[in-house]
């Protein structure tokens, strides 16, 4: 008999956790002889959804539909395992065996509440050795309401494993970027406080004010539609209006859902010489 696995995550979102969720689904799909898959799709902030009309999207839609139909039956299925792809704050017991799959955080300590939440899982999967080691090493003191410490150096004891993303080989798709500068930095991030794009652009202009250098900003606020593009462009223009007008350096704005082939070309463009990132708590 196959193991019934409930996957909970933002499988259809255009986000890092969305890509992580789809990676997990592909792995499980490779052993459909062992697993009976169910999918509880969740949102991820205000990010948009993937809209590619391909075989994988149809397969994901079929599993979501199957899960909805099953949940409405008089005797809904009892799952053997849950795989919860999100930040630890959202982990909970959903099956006899529960696995948390998270990107963690690329800092020196995890949040104290992650210790208890992690202990509720039977196994934890992280995407990097650094994130795993930080989660394992973080220790907290447990105190009563009056401040009396009752336990010291408490760590998460749940077994943890690192699973890296596989390397994907894609052919670059040639697009004319119309870059007037031969040396360009590239930053790719959603516009939000943790991504720190305001500081990235400001520091770039201040450092390269009189240099023939460019910064390509591939970003959005949350979605990849025309309204988001307009609002994102306004944000960048308002920021640039506060910076010196006589600057020689260039800031290029890119928006929209690029394919893997287009992103490959962007990363390997002969005029793109370096990546730059001012994000907080992220590798």
- 24 and 148 belong to one structural domain: yes
152-159: long-range pairs with CB below 8 Å, 24+: 154/115, 155/115, 156/114, 156/115, 156/118, 156/119, 156/124, 157/119, 158/118, 158/119, 158/121, 158/122, 158/123, 158/124, 159/123, 159/124
Of 91-105, 140-154, 216-230, 245-259, least confident by mean pLDDT is: 140-154
- 108 and 46 belong to one structural domain: yes
- 211 and 121 belong to one structural domain: no
- 151 and 265 belong to one structural domain: no
Domain of 260? Answer: 183-275
User: In this structure, how many other beta carbons lie within 10 angstroms of the beta carbon of residue 20?
Assistant: 22
Provide the phi-psi class of 125: left if phi over 0, else alpha when psi is between -120 and 50, else beta: beta
**Which pLDDT score, from 0 to 100, does residue 60 have?**
97
Q: 231 in a domain, yes or no?
A: yes
Q: 73 in a domain, yes or no?
A: yes
Question: The pTM is what?
Answer: 0.83
Domain total for the chain? 2
Which CATH number covers residue 143?
3.40.50
7 pLDDT more than 90: yes
């Amino acid at each position: 008999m196959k193991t019934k696995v409930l996957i909970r995550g933002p499988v259809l979102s255009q986000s890092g956790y969305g890509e992580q969720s789809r990676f997990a689904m592909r792995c499980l799909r490779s052993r459909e002889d062992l697993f009976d898959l169910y999918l509880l799709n969740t949102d991820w902030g205000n990010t948009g959804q993937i809209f590619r009309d391909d075989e994988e999207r149809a397969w994901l839609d079929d599993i979501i539909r199957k899960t909805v139909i099953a949940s409405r039956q008089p005797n809904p299925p009892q799952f053997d395992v849950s795989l919860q792809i999100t930040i630890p704050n959202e982990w909970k017991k959903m099956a006899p065996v529960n696995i948390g799959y998270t990107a963690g955080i690329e800092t020196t300590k995890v949040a104290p509440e992650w210790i208890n939440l992690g202990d509720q899982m039977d196994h934890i999967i992280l995407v990097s050795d650094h994130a795993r080691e930080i989660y394992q090493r973080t220790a907290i003191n447990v105190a009563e309401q009056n401040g009396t410490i009752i336990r010291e150096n408490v760590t998460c004891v749940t077994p943890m494993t690192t699973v890296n993303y596989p390397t994907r080989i894609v052919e670059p798709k040639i697009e004319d970027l119309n870059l007037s500068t031969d040396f360009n930095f590239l930053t790719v991030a959603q516009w939000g406080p943790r991504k720190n794009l305001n500081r990235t652009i400001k520091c770039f202009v201040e450092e390269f004010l009189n240099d023939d250098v460019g910064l390509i900003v591939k970003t959005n606020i949350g979605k990849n539609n025309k309204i988001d593009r307009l609002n994102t462009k306004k944000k960048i223009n308002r920021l640039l209006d506060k910076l010196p007008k006589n600057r020689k350096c260039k800031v290029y704005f890119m928006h929209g859902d690029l394919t893997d082939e287009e992103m490959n070309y962007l990363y390997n463009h002969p005029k793109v010489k370096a990546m730059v990132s001012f994000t907080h708590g992220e590798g």
